[in-house]
Amino acid sequence: MAAAAAAAAGDPFEKRLIRVTLWLKKIYGDVPIPEYEVNERTVDILHEVMECSEERDKDIMLLIENMKDRTTKYKAETEYWQDILGESLDLSVGVLSQEAIRDLTDLVESAMELEVEDTSLTSFYGAINHMSSELYKTTLKNKEMELKLKTLTKKLTSALMLEEQLEEDIKKLNESQEAEKAKAEIQSKSLKFLEDKTEDLKIKISDAEDKLVALGLEQSLTHEALMKSSEELAARLKEIEPLKKERESYHDLPLSIPLARVKVEEARKELKALDEELTREIEALPFELT
């Protein structure tokens, strides 16, 4: 069995597949062969099951052939002894009683079943012991083969279930990938639309500014100049924010402290100067803040 398995392992996949297919057709006959996934694993398992089955069939055929040979041999021997008994003792089946005929028939059948050379008790006892030993070996071998066949069947069932689960997972993964692909395409189209729209608006703004400048609009009133002035204004406001907080902290100082008054007055002057500077810059801007 091990040698057969090793030889099968070395066979090409196509050769093993052909052998398995022919074996399945032989088993199922006119009945359609059940569908199964054709791959290395399933073909290997089926090939091993096929070898076990063929080995059992071979043993049975050998036993049948042996029994046929024994039957032919015993028939010839029976005819020989019938001739001897008929010529020497003038005994034949016709002169024997029914009980004697039954006993002789049982003796002949027992001898044929036990495959003994003669009908002596020693031959019968030896044949019975040998047959009991062979029966035990055959029973043990059959149990081993049944256990192996059961194990292979479980493996095949497990492989088929795993294959079905993998196919389901692949199907779900493909569906998920298709959905993600469609979503990505929609997002890509939306992004492309926004980019094109933004570029178009930039061109329109630039064209409009060029037309306004051509009509006499000051360069400082363009969108770019206004954005720059707005950023500068925000920076100035951010610069005076700490001074405002510092001035508010001076409001909490006691009025009776001369030094605090001096500090507050200095802060007020500094803040006033910054406010005036900011006011001048705001007034210098060519647009109205809202």
Q: What pLDDT, in 10s, does the model give residues 152-164? A: 888 888 888 888 8
> What's the pLDDT score for residue 133?
84
Q: Range of 256's domain?
A: 233-284
Q: CA neighbours within 13 Å on the CB side: how many for 2?
A: 0
Of 100, 131, 159, which residue constitutes the final position of a domain? Answer: 159
pLDDT (0 to 100) of residue 252: 59
Q: Identify the pLDDT of residue 153.
A: 86
For 116-132, write each residue's pLDDT tens digit: 777 677 877 887 888 78
In the 8-state DSSP scheme, what is residue 256?
Answer: T
Place of tokens 């039957």: 71
Number of domains in the chain: 2
In this structure, is residue 203 part of a structural domain?
no
Positions of the chain with pLDDT lower than 50, given as ranges: 1-10, 287-290
Q: Which residues contact 126 (CB under 8 A, 6 or more apart)?
A: 116
Listing DSSP states for 209-231 in one string gives: HHHHHHTT--GGGSHHHHHHHHH
The last residue of a domain, from among 129, 159, 189: 159
Quote the DSSP letter at residue 12: -
Closest alpha carbon to 274 in 240, 230, 231? 240
Point out the domain boundary residue: 115, 144, 159: 159
Residue-level pLDDT at 257: 59
Whether residues 237 and 103 fall in one domain = no
pLDDT of residue 107: 75
Q: What per-residue confidence (pLDDT) applies to 5? A: 42
* Nearest-angstrom CA–CA distance, 183 and 187: 6
